[in-house]
Chain A
Amino acid sequence: MQNSVSIRDLSLNFGSVKVLEHLDLEIAQGEFIVLLGPSGCGKSTLLNCIAGLLDISDGQIFIGGRNVTWLEPKARGIGMVFQSYALYPQMTVERNLSFGLRVAGMKKDEIERRVQRAAEILQIGPLLQRKPANLSGGQRQRVAIGRALVRDVDVFLFDEPLSNLDAKLRSDLRVEIKRLHQRLKNTMIYVTHDQIEALTLADRIAVMKNGVIQQLADPHTIYNRPVNLYVAGFIGSPQMNMFQGTLSGSTFTTDDGIAIPVGTYAFDTPATGAIKAVLGVRPEHIVLGDEAANMPFQIDAEIEIVEPMGSDTLAWTKIGGQAVTFRCDSDVVIETGQKVRLGFDTARGSIFNAETTNRL
């Protein structure tokens, strides 16, 4: 099937500053892609390039099989939703939705039909005659989505649409965006720095750093098989536990001298000889007590801090000199100062080359 959006060898420079370099991205029809990264990684810039709001320095952009590299934003068949909503403050909701269509000279009844459809999908019918100032943040963002909806386009672009909302609204609207995607089946490109949004919404996540896509994969792969140290550290909260050490054969020895068997680990690229490596283990993959008894690696540790989170409990401890967090069920009673037996299986961990930072 033809790709909905394809970006080929895209580069963008501001003077001598290279913001995006030789970037390729193929997005299938109806796919939900999330561009994820810290601020300044170029994710919003990439979105603006796709939208046509920034002129690119090199490369090509295809949307729906058409080369749109030098087309105006309105001619690209896209709708865009912004972080600040960017509603026109002096117009009613109805006019906000219809203004672009009116200017384009569309027939009145067609405009009416599209506005009604958008209002129905987003449940903003009762708000149509209000002005943006009289709407809550969540309602405003719905109107902003509606403005993209009435354009009847194939590709939706979201630029951190939930970042200005409070936590509760954010999770509500997140579900609504997912529902919207399931109903409309449009291609959606979504920029965010929030990994929860990325993991929950995306078909595929592109983790970006310094204008380069580090890993492009489905959320499960991104979370469980990060391709390098950067992705491993960026995704996951609390962070993955990282042990510095040496890998030799099927044993990983930490710098503190603790030997951890890695025989169960599925290597992408088997290492030869002894090399400097980093072993990463997610907090929820460390178990304690009886469960630990079955694990290839076991060690005794003393609990330093306990953080009950409600649904589960986070605990801080040390393995060797290395601070380690692990997650356990909230029913398990653990206390500060308690000695516990911890264990984990490196089959569910990740091992990286310390020099190249790539996954082994």
Chain B
Amino acid sequence: MADTALPLEAGTTVNRPGLLNRIFLHNLPAKIAALPMMATVLVVFVGCTVWTIYYSFTNSKLLPTGKFIGFEQYERLFSTSRWNVSVSNLIAYGLMSLVFTLVIGFVLAVLIDQKIRFESAFRTIMLYPFALSFIVTGLVWQWIMNPTLGLQGTLRNLGWTGFTFDWIANPRMVLFALLIAGLWHGTGFCMVLMLAGLRSVDDEIWKAARIDGIPTWRTYVSIVIPMMRGVLVTAVVIIGSGIVRLYDLVVALTNGGPGISSEVPAKYVYNYMFSGGNIGQGLAAATMMLLTVLIIMIPWAYLEFGGKGRRT
């Protein structure tokens, strides 16, 4: 195809297409088709990232116009207790959410995989919360957990006066309230992923394990879970990305309260950029979030895709 391309300039030889020719004209339709996506990647992902990092080093207030001030925004960021609380909240919530979502999702998938009746009905019920937005999830759980209107109030009105369930209003427990809503929303999806993974394990593997006399739990732990590696990686990536951008659930459920006890980094970024009128500070926080994700992702990606021939 390259042979049929027209020579670009008088200077280039006719038979050997030039470098420009090869880069731009070879397979032209495919390149044109890919252009919008390439533009999006360059402008939105790379461009905005660079923009964000640059302006995090300025003293921009309401508009990104400030002048370069070095690491001042970062110094201020890490001396702000709201940011520090946000970060530790995210770590605590993230770890618990990741572990519980995976464990509960897997256990539910195992239970559903026992050739039970009405399987698709159960699957739909479990997956339903995932169809709701975090805002709806947050609002519903806010009502349920509201001490005066929700579960606690109802049970007290029914006569169980000693009943207490006020996690949402308790700074020490509010993270767990967040966790309940988050798990309710996310475990169904994790279960469906895991179920697909379980179903991909050949029946004969199970038979072979039974002949070998391997107990069921041991078969899951030593044989089936290692075989589900691909599904597990997918699940961790999806759950992980949900954790990092945790925002709407917090806004709907607690709005960061009581006090600042359920603040998260994404909310910090949003508040400083759009309502606090301090773009520089918000972008510094956003950059820190990006950095954290990269610190986790790069070694993992290196291990996963780097070593040649390591994986089987």
The interface of chain A, by Cβ under 8 A from chain B, is 48, 51-53, 72-75, 78-80, 82-91, 99-100, 103-104, 131, 133-134, 147-148, 151, 159
Q: How far is the CA of A147 from the CA of B212 in the complex (A)?
A: 8
Nearest B residue to A100 via CB reads B212
* Cβ A73 vs Cβ B205 within 8 A: no
Contact of B215 among A86, A90, A103 (CB under 8 A): A103
Interface size on B, residues (CB 8 A): 19
Contact yes or no, A82 B213, CB < 8 A: no
User: Which positions in B face A, CB cutoff 8 Å?
Assistant: 202, 204-205, 207-215, 218, 222-223, 226-227, 229, 312
Closest to A81 in B: B208
| Nearest A residue (CB) for B229 | A90
A134 touches B212 (CB 8 A): no
Residues of B within 8 A of A103 (CB): 212-215, 218
| Given the contacts A51-B211, A53-B210, A90 and B223 also touching, CB distance less than 8 Å | yes
- Asked if A100 meets B213 with Cβ closer than 8 Å, knowing A84-B202, A134-B312, the reply is yes
The distance in angstroms between the C-alpha atoms of A53 and B203, with both chains bound, is 11
Q: Are A72 and B227 in contact (CB under 8 A)?
A: no
Q: Which residue of the partner chain, among B202, B210, B223, contacts A74 with CB atoms under 8 Å?
A: B210
| CA A113 to CA B255, docked complex, whole Å | 66
Sorted nearest first, the 7 A-B pairs with minimum C-beta distance are A74-B213, A100-B212, A90-B226, A86-B204, A86-B208, A82-B204, A133-B312
> When the two chains form their complex, are residues B211 and A74 in contact, meaning their CB atoms are under 8 A apart?
yes
B214 touches A100 (CB 8 A): yes
Q: Are A86 and B227 in contact (CB under 8 A)?
A: no
A83 touches B211 (CB 8 A): no
In the docked arrangement, what's the CA distance between A9 and B73, Å?
Answer: 84
In angstroms, how far is the closest chain B Cβ from the Cβ of A253?
A: 52
Q: A90-B227, A131-B312, A133-B312 are in contact. Are A84 and B204 (CB under 8 A)?
A: yes
Query: B207, A80: Cβ atoms under 8 Å?
Result: yes
A99-B222, A103-B218, A133-B312 known; 5 new pairs, CB 8 Å cut-off, are A72-B213, A74-B213, A82-B204, A82-B207, A100-B212
Residue in A83, A85, A89, A99 whose CB lies within 8 Å of B212: A99
Interface CB pairs A-B, < 8 A, 23:
A53-B210, A72-B210, A73-B211, A74-B213, A79-B211, A80-B207, A82-B204, A82-B207, A83-B204, A84-B202, A85-B204, A86-B208, A87-B208, A88-B223, A89-B312, A90-B229, A100-B214, A103-B214, A103-B215, A133-B312, A134-B312, A148-B211, A151-B212
CA distance A151 to B208 in the complex (A): 12
Q: A82-B204, A83-B204, A131-B312 are in contact. Are A89 and B211 (CB under 8 A)?
A: no
When chains A and B are docked, how far (Å) is the Cα of A133 from the Cα of B222? 17
Tell whether, in the assembled complex, residue A86 and residue B207 are in contact, meaning their CB atoms are under 8 Å apart.
yes
CB distance from B30 to the nearest CB of A (A): 33
Please give, as numbers and ranges, the residues of chain A lying within 8 Å of B222 by CB-CB distance.
Answer: 88, 99
B227 nearest CB neighbor, chain A only: A89
Q: Is the CB of A147 within 8 A of B204?
A: no
Q: Shortest beta-carbon distance, A69 to chain B, in Å?
A: 16
Which residues of A have CB within 8 Å of B205? Answer: 86, 88
Residues of B within 8 A of A48 (CB): 207
Q: How far is it, in angstroms, between the C-alpha of A133 and the C-alpha of B310 when the chains are bound?
A: 12
B214 and A80 contact, CB distance less than 8 A = no
